[in-house]
Structure 1
Amino acid sequence: MIHAHWLTPAFHPSYVRLLCVLMRRRGVTTATLLEGTGLEWERLVDSGAAIGLPQIRPLVHAALTLSGDPALGLEFGAAIPVSGHGAVGYAAVASRDVRQALETIVRYGRLRGSALEFRLATDAAHTMLQVRERIDLGVARVPLMETVLVVLVKLLESLVGHALEEMECALPYPRPPWVESYRRRLSGRLAFGADCMELRLPHPLLDLPCLTADLQGYAAAVQECEKALVQLLGEGNVLQQVRARLQGRSDALPTCEAMAAELHMSTRTLLRRLKQHGTSYQALLDEGRKEQAQWYLQHTARSVESIAEALGYQDTSNFSRSFRRWFGVPPSAFRQRKNR
């Protein structure tokens, strides 16, 4: 887990507003819920500024205490409408198929919660949507992860129109005493104690068309998301933009020329601006390749040759040299060591 500064913005204020509504239905006034959090209802309604962990932690603690319900996160996730996720939610439900919906979540999920990172990974039979914590969520961790879990499952099931019995959900914490609340809201298999939250979907499921597909609606929502993403990352910080675009990709990592085209600049300009930040595209590409190589060896049975090809290496020997430079051992030895 990456521990960022505790004042880092965490979640969009719409979720705090929706939590206030849910608690009012349970008989808890908004003033009581927000007491001691540093949040005010009037500002929540008028502002679009992200809410940081110093407010989220006491807010979640208060909601759990006042409700007396340790499974409140599950109920909250089920209560959030698609509109609560803004343009990201609209883009996901308007996607062509499940694959495009997952890719949309991975690319734009940070717009709704920069405390979380969404990634896609694959093995021989499954595609995995992973949710990793960028910062220490503290007391809010389990209820927030429960909320995100239900939101994602509910979204995916709405896209295909039926329960996803074949999906596996893994959670990064021990099995809670209220596990039956999970079973009442979720279909498919559950596992606890994982490295991160992970929704495992059989490959054929990704090709299912979305019942709510809307080509024009998707294009409009994505355009809005792209504008917000540029603003979030900082238009002038090309380093952040490149790193963000390399993260969470399920396809081959782009060449420098392809990345420059994605950023609407020349290759020469991209290289010059990265040099101003003290790095190069090759160094950033190595970061992405290192992470993907490690995951493939730990979580799939793919051969070293297949992994090298997937990462864009012309031959296996070049990949093996790079891997030894990263981890001090060849890929085969790394896999054996991790599987003991």
Structure 2
Amino acid sequence: MSSRSILGLIYMVQGLQQMGEDPEPVLARHGLSLNRLDPSTRIDRSRELRIYADLAENVKDPLVGLKLGGFYGLAGYGPLVMLLMTCSTAYEAFQAGIRYQGLTYLYGTLRFEPGDKLSCLVLSPMAMTGQAFRFRVDGEVSGTYKMVRDMQLSLGVDIHAERIDMPYPRPPEAADYEAYFGCPVRFGDTEARFWLRNEHLQLRLPSADPNAHAMYRAMCDQQLVAQQTSNDTLAERVLTHLGLFSGSYPSAEEVAKSLGLSERSLRRQLSEDGRSFRDLLAEARYAKAQHLLRHTTLSVEAIAQQLGYAESAAFIHAFQRWSGMTPSAFRGR
């Protein structure tokens, strides 16, 4: 099962909170809490989708999905946005975006359909039931619109949609969609479409850089490989869940509940595989400690807090037990 950055979920939950919604009860049912999520980690795609579906059933504002697009920051796309901005033309940027769409926050599938005067970027939505379908489609369409809008503002070019088609019946709030996108919006199609003028697609990007583009393409390729992580065993699923947390970690009972098991069943199944919850918690902490020591300048005290230690001395002692050296020595190497 593939995974991806948890940033998409964090952006959405933060957006819901700012719009007066309360996503915490849904997160709690999945064993999560916003203030304990580590933005540098990854989440299983199927699990994230279940959370989205549950959140959609609890929102009160029918325009929430549309408004959520504004909460997806351009920087959150990482190397992908730099890959797009170093393309030669807008058309090449759209083609690269389609090729690397797995690095976006989409669950639908993008493709490009050329035409004589107008071409369109097509989003085939993932099938979902009830309110979740409109919620997810609106979020993906407005998020894609926001990404293109932010890029064109930073580059000083004009790439706007002539019309947008939405894949569900016309809602009572249709006028709000045209006001949001600044163009006509047609409802009742089978897919979402952004209609673009061909001359806009030929615009040359001022930030084009073939050498930097090759570097970012290699980084994006590496990220695509990293997404194909396997969580086939219970121990791997437990490690993935523990990896989502920062500051404090859930108990064995809480982890078991999030995985649909009793604590007794969790411990028994782990024992049958020669593992224990205590060892897995240590493994998750050690992996996060190594990452923070290698890739950040956080102090040992700050890292200890992110790993849930009340005192840095306890963290230093644990790290020496795991690696045979102090955190400072590990970072020096």
TM-score by length of 1: 0.57
Question: What per-residue deviation string (whole Å, max 9, x for no partner) do you get for residues 27-75 of structure 1?
Answer: 556633523345443355453123422222002323x2xxx32111121
2:77–2:103 Cα contact (<8 Å) kept: no
Q: Which residue of 2 aligns with 1:56?
A: 52
Q: How does 1:97-176 map to 2 (within 5 A)?
A: 97-113=89-105, 115-136=107-128, 138-160=130-152, 161=156, 167-176=162-171
Closer, same or farther: CA 106–172 of 1 in aligned 2, 3 Å: same
Cα distance in structure 2, aligned partners of 1:166 and 1:133: 19
Runs of 4+ deviating beyond 6 Å: none
Unaligned stretches of 5+ residues in structure 2 = 230-333
1:207 CA displacement: 0.6
Q: Extract unaligned runs of 5+ from structure 1.
A: 1-7, 235-340
Given the superposition, is the C-alpha separation of residues 175 and 37 from structure 1 closer, same or farther in structure 2, using an over 3 Å criterion?
farther
Q: Which residue of 2 aligns with 1:70?
A: 62
Are 2:186 and 1:191 aligned?
Answer: yes
* Structure 2 CA distance for aligned equivalents of residues 10 and 175 of structure 1: 34
Q: Is 1:178 the equivalent of 2:178?
A: no
CA apart distance, 1:101: 1.6
Hey, what does 2:309 align to over in structure 1?
A: none
Letter in structure 2 aligned against 1:73? G
1:89 aligns with 2:81: yes
Q: In the aligned structure 2, how far is the partner of 1:202 from the partner of 1:124?
A: 9
Identity of aligned residues (%): 18
Distance 2:145 2:106 in 1: 20
Q: Which moved more, 1:49-58 or 1:194-203?
A: 49-58
CA displacement at 1:137 relative to structure 2? 5.9
Specify the alignment match of 2:249 in structure 1. Answer: none
Cα distance in 2 for residues equivalent to 1:98 and 1:28: 37
User: Whole-Å Cα distance in 1 between the matches of residues 145 and 102 of structure 2?
Assistant: 18
SS of the aligned residue for 2:42 comes to coil
Task: Find the aligned partners of 2:158 and 2:26 in 1 and give their Cα distance.
Answer: 34
Using the TM superposition, give the Cα deviation of residue 105 of structure 1 relative to its aligned residue in structure 2, in angstroms: 1.5
- Give the superposition deviation at 1:136: 3.3
Aligned equivalent of 1:13: 6
> 1:26 and 1:196, CA in 2 relative to 1: closer, same or farther beyond 3 A?
closer
SS in 2 for 1:75: helix
Q: RMSD over aligned Cα, in angstroms?
A: 2.9
2-structure distance, mates of 1:100, 1:44: 34
Name the CA shift for 1:150/1:159 in 2 (closer, same or farther; >3 Å): same
SS of equivalent residue, structure 1 residue 91: helix
In structure 2, C-alpha distance between the alignment counterparts of 1:173 and 1:190, rounded to whole Å: 12
Corresponding residue SS for 1:136? coil
TM-score between both structures, scaled by the size of structure 2: 0.58
> Using the alignment, how far apart are the partners of 2:70 and 2:91 within structure 1?
22
1:158 Cα deviation after fit:
3.8
The structure-2 alpha-carbon separation of the partners of 1:123 and 1:28, relative to structure 1 and needing over 3 Å to count, comes to closer
- Count of aligned pairs between the two proteins: 223
Distance 1:28 1:172 in 2: 25
Q: SS of 2:146's equivalent? A: helix
Q: Retained in 2: the 8 A contact 1:61–1:140?
A: yes
- 2:28 paired residue number: 35
- Give SS of 1:99's match: helix
Judging changes above 3 Å, is the alpha-carbon distance between structure 1 residues 163 and 149 closer, same or farther for their aligned structure 2 residues?
A: farther
Q: 2:215 aligns with which of 217, 220, 223?
A: 220
- Residue 287 of structure 1 is matched in structure 2 by none
State whether residues 93 and 101 of structure 1, in contact with CA within 8 Å, keep that contact through their aligned partners in structure 2: yes
Shift of 1:198: 1.0
Query: Bigger radius of gyration, 1 or 2?
Result: 2
What is the deviation of 1:76? Answer: 1.0
Whole-angstrom CA distance in 2 between matches of 1:132 and 1:168:
17
